Amino acid sequence: MNASSRSAEKAHDSTWMDHAIRAGLVAYGVVHLLVGWLALQLALGEKEDQASNSGALHYLAEQPLGGVLVWLVAIGMFLLVLWRLLEFGFGFDDESDDAKRWRKRAGSLGKAVIYGAIGWSAVQTATGSGGGKGGTDSTTAKLMQLPGGQLIVGLVGLAIIGYGGSLVYRGWTEKFREHLDAQGQSGKDGSAYVKLGKAGYIAKGVAIAVVGGLFGYAAITHDPKKSGGLDQALQTVLEQPFGQVLLVVIALGIAAYGVFCFARAKHLSR
């Protein structure tokens, strides 16, 4: 292992990285709390902004000192990107199964992409350069124009559904407990953290699975406008029988995930 690799691995295992992760998790929790709040407004017919990550950032920017807060969210997200990239390169060395180790590392890389997208959206919001109307449907349209584009969009949909399903699974089986240290899992506080995590993972997973379903429907109908992000997915939930009740439950669950992020920051285990 060369000197740069040793330095990167040392950084991954360092105490300052723990502090950086905690800061990032707090920022991630704030974003989810705001998404939950906007989704609740949507459910109650008082929508003011998109119930999505970008909508949450725009909502935050409109508050007192909002520009500073959005920049702090961006920094937090990029700290999480750094963590996940280091984890991709040097993490899970204690895993004896090579296939499982690389599967976990691939998951870390995927999470780095998600955090990076939120961070970049925060930078665009803070600098006022995120007002373009490209949207998910235009991205889907570009994919559709590629050779085998309809299949690609369908596979993207399946991948998103799979990710949503994995979150539901982690919530239902409480596998997320591994993210909390022993103190964070014990006593009344620990019981509350676990309940928040369970509700949060399941609700977030359901919302993301609906996003994947929209991509799949777009692939089947060959209509890019049928695809959509989180905001359109929540709108779709609202349009179903008992949609308002379902959306309130999902909104509260997404907010619960945000609070769980705070608990995870306090009782970090990695």
- Per-residue pLDDT tens digits for 133-175: 445 666 787 888 888 888 898 899 999 999 999 999 999 999 9
70 strand-pairing partners? none
What are the structural domain ranges in the chain?
1-132, 135-270
pTM above 0.85, yes or no: yes
Q: Distance from CA of residue 4 to its chain's centroid?
A: 30
Q: Which of 18-27, 53-62, 103-112, 216-225 has the highest mean pLDDT?
A: 18-27
**Mind giving me the DSSP string for 177-204?**
GGGB-TGGGSHHHHHHHHHHHHHHHHHH
Provide the mean pLDDT of the chain: 88
CA dihedral (181, 182, 183, 189) in degrees, to 10, reads 90
Asked if 252 contacts 36 with a C-beta cutoff of 8 angstroms, the reply is yes
Give me the pLDDT at residue 34, please.
95
Tokens of 270: 């990695």
Tokens of 14: 């360092």
Asked if 29 contacts 265 with a C-beta cutoff of 8 angstroms, the reply is yes
Segment 231-237 mean pLDDT:
88
Distance separating alpha carbons of residues 39 and 204, to the nearest angstrom: 12
Which pairs from 173-182 meet CB under 8 Å and 24+ separation?
174/198, 176/201, 176/260, 178/269, 179/264, 179/268, 179/269, 179/270, 180/263, 180/264, 180/267, 180/269, 181/267, 181/268, 181/269
Tokens of 147: 């050779």
